[in-house]
Amino acid sequence: MLPILLGVFLIWYSLSKISLTGLLQHFKEANYWFILLGVIFGLLSHLSRAYRWLFMLEPMGYKVKLGNSIMAVFAAYLINYTIPRAGEVARATILTNYENVPFQKGFGTIVAERVADFIVMLFIIALTLVIQFEFIFNFFLQKFNLIKILTALLIVLIIAITAIVMIKKSQSKIAIKIKDFIKGLIEGALSIFKMKKKWAFIFHTLFIWTMYVLMFYVTTFAIKDLDNVSFGAVLVGFILATFSIAATNGGIGSYPEAIVIAFTLFALPEDPSRAFGWIMWTSQTVLIFVLGGLSLLYLPFFNRNK
């Protein structure tokens, strides 16, 4: 319930900062060709994710139908709007029901997928830091005391190293579980390079995230007051918006506000930024609700021989 309550609060907060009339006006004046292009990029990323999943299932001896993989992915995205991350469980369960893939194996491939996605996300963050290094450095220099930041980072580093050493030496049940979990993540990440179609997997991983960034970037052109948004601002907005999805169910309420925080750092007007956040979130949510709903309805018919 906590993510739902947070989402409701953020919706109220967001709408308290911009009048409903003003928000609807931005929706009316938006260039829907760019919004449609953003939706197409989003759709391509989801289809690529479904196709990429087959590369991980095939080495285990499971020839999964592409249609089931696509519908499982869209159903998972839809279910994530109810309980955070429940979609990942549902996605593996769908393959268990219709393709006889053991749940733990299907779920294991999803975890390995997430490791690959996390690595790409770290690369995007690093790229953003390089492109916007001077801006980010000056921002932290103005807002925070540099000595305090370095001291805090040093303390965090010392705590992290101490925790790693203690966990490594400890034989407690919790420590063993943590070690097994980390070991599983590492094995999952390395398994990508052991699969037959590893280069195809890497290509689709890069393609998925390129589509994500393009989806975000082209939609900014739909708002006339954001014509001069820099690519650096787009990357910062994209990163904060991506993390906001984990805060509430499907980014409800948190997604637009994360974009406002990012764009206002670059002196972009607040109202158009908030409107862009709502347009961006709404367009992708409509896509997920339509295709995710149709997937849940059609899955039994597609597998009627099961």
Q: What is the pLDDT of residues 33-55, one digit of tens each?
A: 999 999 999 999 999 999 999 98
The residue-averaged pLDDT of 160-164 equals 85
Give per-residue burial for 127-162: e unless 16+ CB within 10 Å, then b: ebeeebeeebeeeeeeeeeeeeeeeeeeeeeeeeee
**pLDDT, tens only, 175-188:** 777 777 677 656 65
Is 173 within the bounds of a domain?
Answer: no
In whole angstroms, give the CA distance from residue 144 to residue 46: 39
Q: Comparing 124-128, 139-143, 179-183, 240-244, which segment has the lowest mean pLDDT?
A: 139-143
In whole angstroms, give the CA distance from residue 224 to residue 74: 31
Domain that holds residue 60: 30-155+199-297
Is 178 within the bounds of a domain?
Answer: no
Q: Which residue has better confidence, 14 or 288?
A: 288
Most confident segment among 68-77, 97-106, 145-154 = 68-77
Give per-residue burial for 192-222: e unless 16+ CB within 10 Å, then b: beebeeeeebbebbebbbebbbbbbbbbbbb
- CB 169 within 8 Å of CB 180: no
- pLDDT value of position 65: 92
Amino acid at position 288, single letter: I
What is the chain's length?
Answer: 306
Report the half-sphere exposure of 84 (CA within 13 A, side-chain side): 17
* pLDDT band with cut points at 50, 70 and 90 for residue 274: very high
- CB 114 within 8 Å of CB 107: no
- 144, pLDDT greater than 70: no
Q: Which residue has better confidence, 245 or 139?
A: 245
Is 24 within the bounds of a domain?
Answer: no
Is 73 within the bounds of a domain?
Answer: yes
The residue-averaged pLDDT of 210-217 equals 95
Give me the chain's average pLDDT, please. Answer: 86
What's the structural domain count of the chain?
1
Q: Which residue has better confidence, 130 or 134?
A: 130
**CA pseudo-torsion sign 170, 174, 178, 181:** positive
In whole angstroms, give the CA distance from residue 180 to residue 177: 5
Give the other-Cβ count within 10 Å of 284's Cβ. Answer: 23
Is 209 within the bounds of a domain?
Answer: yes
**CA pseudo-torsion sign 7, 10, 15, 16:** positive
Percent of the chain exceeding pLDDT 90 equals 36
